[in-house]
């Protein structure tokens, strides 16, 4: 490749290379063909051909979540671009750093309703952190530099680069210069620690009697897990994680209360409700956490550490706002606490931890379900997660789709490490699990990557089984098959008198084993509890094969606890006939 | 209470749609919106007024500030500020209220039609509109509010 003169397409790929990109996901089409030709002619960046653009963006997203590096997807104009939209919205809601490059019709055709034309900038505007419409080929290097900078700094997020086809024309070459730094007067995200209120935060911590550390996806995104754990250990404060925050604090640690919120544990939700101090880190008090915000943790002072100023005091007023990097702000807080030779109210704290233990003993999750064998002749979905946990020694990457299986995975697989648990928490995108697992598996070819899914979600991106064969991705798909859209059905059971409107399939499900085998992979069916353990062992042991483990689970099982809408966090349903109020 | 927010943004394609899109996306109710380039051709100044409470306005300013194309945001109504709006009104010559306007208000005049211009605060203009209601104005055009702080504070950037 000529080092000085490049076409727009060559400049794009070379810019990606200079950003450290060695892998991208995509799907070609007319407006992107110059770019695809440039990909063909180089060896820096591998391209993974997906089977649907939604899969490309989820795969890039999964890659980004697992590695912390930005993920890249490339799509064509029109339907290619619109198919990428769900992936963009997913990444936007969970603040993951991805860059999506879309081909666009030639610049002179924009606005003429030409073939495969969509206003990608307009369509994606509310679900991207930022977007660029390339106006000149020469601007491509500068725009790529800015796009990666924006995607990966501050509160991370997806960035779109829309490139009209004429600006990637191989006949037009220009001198390639990649900028060494980014200078944007309008973009200065908080960097480093915010120490302005650290002393006040330490004062509150020193006097707290019923503290809770509540951390979210921001801690994982900011690689602040070590600092969060250090703070919790220093103080002996109990910790809860959001769905997005799991793994930031070791899931098997006795100080961990489990997930909080809608389907959080009894002890985590009770602790939040009764706390006198909540230390929120990289979390945004969303509605699945707070339940009714007007009744949320009324006796607690709130310290809120977040890199996004707009997230602080958005839903819940922060008594001590700390707007900065979680990692560095936590470090500053730990230093402050150590410097004053901090004494917490040790007897109050141990009494509080005792109270939490009592809550756990009374209504905590049963982590020994697997040992109890079949329940009424059926396999409980929770038992499948426990079996997966056991056979993978708790060390697998677990991606998931959306619904009951997602909640069971979050509740019963104890994630000890950040970036181990990968799911669509904010948007709740069914179809996310398999393609995101492809991104994870490509990033970590030697690791066990499992996709916990349901027979509903898996069918939303099942075409990616073909991609998995092409690139030899030995993902372990664990299908909790309850022959229904489980979470929808649960709500219909609870709130709609058991009327299962369009949540079952009337015997129309495919034979997943045969389907998987037709894609060239291994399928295993499990319908009896006694087969579960050996099937799971076999599934995990087939190191080089994608295995689809289709497990028939009890179709009547509901996810509990469940917060009762419109109330405080202590209002929970604990089972079909037990509630806390 | 009426709040006025002013911001500077990059004067480039797409910037305005991001700002305007944010309002509908986040459910903010905007009463008036004025945009024009500044004397620095790379920047536009946008002024908006809303009736939101303090918490809503704080969220609006924070979310606006997050937009990559927005360079600076200020909530003018946080301190003393001057708010002005321009209004143009069209009357038939026969129904022109001579007791309300003088020559200096008249911007065009022919044998049928008189157009006037008035500058004032939004509430002054509201009041004037109710005063001339009986004269059946043919058309009323309002510019939306502009604002500037009363003290030494400015919404400008150093180049």
Residue B37 touches partner A, C-beta closer than 8 Å: no
Q: Which residues contact B67 (CB under 8 A, 6 or more apart)?
A: B9, B18, B19, B22
Query: Which of A18, A26, A13, A99 lies closest to A61, judged by CA?
Result: A99
Query: Which of A411, A333, A402 lies closest to A369, judged by CA?
Result: A411
* Model pLDDT for residues A439-497, shown as the tens digit of each residue: 999 999 999 999 999 999 999 999 999 999 999 999 999 999 999 999 999 999 999 99
Residues A564, A572 contacting (CB under 8 angstroms)? yes
Please say if the pLDDT value at position A244 is more than 80: yes
> In this prediction, what percent of chain A has a pLDDT beyond 70?
99
Distance, in Å, from the CA atom of B45 to the CA atom of B35, rounded to the nearest integer, reads 6
Give pLDDT, residue A3.
Answer: 57
Cβ contacts of A310 on chain B, cutoff 8 Å: 59, 62-63, 65-66
Give pLDDT, residue B13.
Answer: 85
Q: Does domain B81-147 have CATH number 3.30.930.10?
A: no
CB contact under 8 A, B13 and A314: no
Query: Which of A71, A94, A129, A95 lies closest to A423, judged by CA?
Result: A94
For A116, other C-beta atoms within 10 Å of its C-beta total 16
CB contact under 8 A, B14 and A121: yes
Paired residues of B116 in beta bridges = B89, B106
Q: What CATH superfamily classification does A198-363 receive? A: TPP-binding domain (3.40.50.1220)
Query: Which of B66, B87, B98, B99 lies closest to B140, judged by CA?
Result: B87
How, if at all, do strands B81-92 and B43-50 pair?
unpaired
Among B residues 45-64, those touching chain A with beta carbons less than 8 Å apart: 55, 58-59, 62-63
Give the ipTM: 0.91
For A518, other C-beta atoms within 10 Å of its C-beta total 12
Residues A225, A253 contacting (CB under 8 angstroms)? no
pLDDT confidence of A240, banded at 50, 70, 90? very high
* Model pLDDT for residues A515-533, shown as the tens digit of each residue: 999 999 999 999 999 999 9
The b-or-e profile of B52-66 (16+ CB within 10 A means b, else e) is: beeebbbbbbbbbbb
**Catalytic site includes residue A404:** no
Residue B150 touches partner A, C-beta closer than 8 Å: no
Give pLDDT, residue A514.
Answer: 98
Among A155, A186, A294, A321, most B C-beta atoms within 10 A, so best to mutate, is A186
Paired residues of A280 in beta bridges = A214, A304
CB contact under 8 A, A185 and B21: no
Q: Which residues contact B24 (CB under 8 A, 6 or more apart)?
A: none
Give pLDDT, residue A1.
Answer: 45
Phi-psi group of B66: left, alpha or beta (phi > 0 → left; psi -120 to 50 → alpha; rest → beta): alpha
Please say if the pLDDT value at position A302 is more than 70: yes
How, if at all, do strands A320-323 and A562-563 pair?
unpaired
- Entry pTM: 0.96
Q: Kindly report the nearest CA distance between residue A93 and chain B, in angstroms.
A: 14
Out of B21, B59, B62, closest to residue A126 by CB: B21
Q: Which residues contact A304 (CB under 8 A, 6 or more apart)?
A: A280, A311, A312, A313, A316, A318, A320, A321, A322
Half-sphere exposure of A265 (CA within 13 A, CB side): 26
Give pLDDT, residue A512.
Answer: 98
Please say if the pLDDT value at position B23 is more than 70: yes
Cβ contacts of B18 on chain A, cutoff 8 Å: 125
- Token pair, residue A579, equals 């509630």
Helix, strand, coil fractions of chain A, as percent rounded to 5: 40, 20, 40
Pick the catalytic residue from A115, A338, A395, A495. A115
Number of Cβ pairs < 8 A linking chain A and chain B:
37
> CA nearest B11 in A: which residue?
A186
CB contact under 8 A, A186 and B70: yes
Distance, in Å, from the CA atom of A269 to the CA atom of A261, rounded to the nearest integer, reads 6
Beta strands in A29-128 (DSSP E): 46-49, 71-75, 98-104
Q: Which residues contact B35 (CB under 8 A, 6 or more apart)?
A: B16, B44, B45, B46, B47
For A366, other C-beta atoms within 10 Å of its C-beta total 12
∠ CA A50-A51-A54, rounded to 5°: 80
Give pLDDT, residue A2.
Answer: 46
pLDDT confidence of A550, banded at 50, 70, 90? very high
Cβ contacts of A150 on chain B, cutoff 8 Å: 68
Give pLDDT, residue A343.
Answer: 77
* Model pLDDT for residues B65-117, shown as the tens digit of each residue: 999 999 999 999 999 999 999 999 999 999 999 999 999 999 999 999 999 99
Strands of the sheet with B3-10, listed across from one edge: B30-37, B43-50, B3-10, B70-75
Distance, in Å, from the CA atom of A481 to the CA atom of A554, rounded to the nearest integer, reads 9
CATH 3.30.70.260, chain B: domain bounds: 3-78
Cβ contacts of A121 on chain B, cutoff 8 Å: 14
Residues of chain A with a CB closer than 8 angstroms to some CB in chain B: 121-122, 125-126, 129-131, 133, 135, 150, 184-187, 308-310, 313-314
Give pLDDT, residue A437.
Answer: 98
Residues A87, A149 contacting (CB under 8 angstroms)? no
CATH 3.30.70.1150, chain B: domain bounds: 81-147
Question: Hey, what CATH topology would domain B3-78 get?
Answer: Alpha-Beta Plaits (3.30.70)
| CATH for the A5-172 domain, from 3.30.70.1050, 3.40.50.1100, 3.40.50.10150, 3.40.50.970 | 3.40.50.970
Among B residues 17-36, those touching chain A with beta carbons less than 8 Å apart: 17-18, 21, 25
Q: Kindly report the nearest CA distance between residue B59 and chain A, in angstroms.
A: 6
Give pLDDT, residue B56.
Answer: 87
Average pLDDT over chain A, rounded to an integer: 97
> In this prediction, what percent of chain B has a pLDDT beyond 90?
83
Sketch the domain layout of chain A as residue ranges: 5-172, 198-363, 369-563
Residues A399, A423 contacting (CB under 8 angstroms)? yes
H or E stretch covering A491: helix A486-495
Per DSSP, the residues of A365-396 read --TTGGGG--BTTB--HHHHHHHHHHHTTT-S
Q: For residue A132, with 0-12 CB atoms within 10 Å meaning exposed, 13-18 middle and 19 or more buried, which class applies? A: buried
Query: Which of B33, B63, B70, B74 lies closest to B50, judged by CA?
Result: B33
Cβ contacts of B25 on chain A, cutoff 8 Å: 126
* Model pLDDT for residues A17-51, shown as the tens digit of each residue: 999 999 999 999 999 999 999 999 999 999 999 99
Residues A66, A444 contacting (CB under 8 angstroms)? yes
Q: Does domain A369-563 have CATH number 3.40.50.970?
A: yes
């Amino acid at each position: 490749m000529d080092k000085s003169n490049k076409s727009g397409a060559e400049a794009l790929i070379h810019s990606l290379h200079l950003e450290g990109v060695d892998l991208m996901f995509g799907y070609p089409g007319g407006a992107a063909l110059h770019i695809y030709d440039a990909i063909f002619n180089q060896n820096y960046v591998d391209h993974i051909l997906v089977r649907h653009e939604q899969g490309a963006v989820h795969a890039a997203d999964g890659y980004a979540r697992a590695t912390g590096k930005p993920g890249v997807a490339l799509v064509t104009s029109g339907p290619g671009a619109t198919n990428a939209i769900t992936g963009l919205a997913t990444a936007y809601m969970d603040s993951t750093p991805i860059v999506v490059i879309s081909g666009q019709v030639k610049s002179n055709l924009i606005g003429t309703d030409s073939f495969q034309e969509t206003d990608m900038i307009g369509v994606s505007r509310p679900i991207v952190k930022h977007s660029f419409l390339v106006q000149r080929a020469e601007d491509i290097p500068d725009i790529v530099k800015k796009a990666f900078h924006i995607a990966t700094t501050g509160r991370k997020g997806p960035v779109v680069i829309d490139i009209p086809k004429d600006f990637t024309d191989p006949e037009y070459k220009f001198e390639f210069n990649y900028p060494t730094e980014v200078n944007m007067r309008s973009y200065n995200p908080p960097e480093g620690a915010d120490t302005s209120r650290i002393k006040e935060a330490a004062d509150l911590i020193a006097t707290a009697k019923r503290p809770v550390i509540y951390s979210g996806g921001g801690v994982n995104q900011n690689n602040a897990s070590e600092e969060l754990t250090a703070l919790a250990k220093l103080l002996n404060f109990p910790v809860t994680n959001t769905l997005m925050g799991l793994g930031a604090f070791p899931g098997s640690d006795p100080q961990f209360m489990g997930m909080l919120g809608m389907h959080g544990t009894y002890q985590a939700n009770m602790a939040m409700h009764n706390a006198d101090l909540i230390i929120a880190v990289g979390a945004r008090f969303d509605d699945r956490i707070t339940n009714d915000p007007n009744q949320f943790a009324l006796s607690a002072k709130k310290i809120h550490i977040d890199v996004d100023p707009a997230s602080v005091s958005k839903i819940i007023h922060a008594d001590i706002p700390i707007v900065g990097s979680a990692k560095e702000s936590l470090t500053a807080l730990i230093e402050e606490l150590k410097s004053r030779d901090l004494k917490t109210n040790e007897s109050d704290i141990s009494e509080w931890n005792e109270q939490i233990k009592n809550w756990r003993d009374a209504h905590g999750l049963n982590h020994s379900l697997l040992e109890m064998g079949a329940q009424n002749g059926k396999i409980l979905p929770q038992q499948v997660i426990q079996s997966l946990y056991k056979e993978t020694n708790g060390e697998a990457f677990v991606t998931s789709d959306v619904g009951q299986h997602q909640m069971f995975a979050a509740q019963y697989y104890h994630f000890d490490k950040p970036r181990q648990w990968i799911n669509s928490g904010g948007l709740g995108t069914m179809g996310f699990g398999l393609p995101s697992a492809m991104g994870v598996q490509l990033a970590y070819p030697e690791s066990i990557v499992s996709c916990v899914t349901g027979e509903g979600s898996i069918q939303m991106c099942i075409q990616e089984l073909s991609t998995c064969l092409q690139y030899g991705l030995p993902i372990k798909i664990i299908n909790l098959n309850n022959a229904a859209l489980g979470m929808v059905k649960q709500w219909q059971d609870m709130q709609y008198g058991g009327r299962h409107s369009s949540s079952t399939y009337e015997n129309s499900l495919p034979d997943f084993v045969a389907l998987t085998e037709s894609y060239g992979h291994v399928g295993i069916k499990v319908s009896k509890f006694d087969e579960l353990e050996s099937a799971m062992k076999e599934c995990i042991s087939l190191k080089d094969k994608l295995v689809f483990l289709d497990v028939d689970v009890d179709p009547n099982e509901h996810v509990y606890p469940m917060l009762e809408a419109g109330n405080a966090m202590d209002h929970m349903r604990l089972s079909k006939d037990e509630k806390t109020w | 209470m009426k709040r006025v927010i002013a911001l500077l943004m990059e004067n480039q394609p797409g910037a305005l749609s991001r700002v305007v899109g944010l309002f509908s996306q986040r459910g903010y109710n905007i009463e008036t919106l004025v945009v024009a380039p500044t004397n620095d051709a790379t920047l536009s100044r946008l002024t908006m007024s809303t009736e939101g409470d303090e918490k809503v306005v704080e969220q609006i300013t924070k979310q606006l500030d997050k937009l990559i194309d927005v360079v600076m945001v200020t909530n003018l109504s946080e301190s003393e500020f001057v708010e002005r709006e321009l209004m143009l009104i069209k009357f038939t010559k026969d129904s022109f209220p001579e007791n309300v306007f003088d020559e200096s208000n008249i911007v065009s005049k022919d044998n049928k039609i008189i157009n006037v211009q008035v500058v004032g605060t939004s509430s002054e203009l509201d009041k004037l509109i109710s005063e001339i209601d009986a004269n059946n104005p043919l058309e009323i055009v309002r510019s939306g509010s502009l604002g500037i702080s009363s003290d030494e504070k400015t919404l400008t950037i150093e180049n």
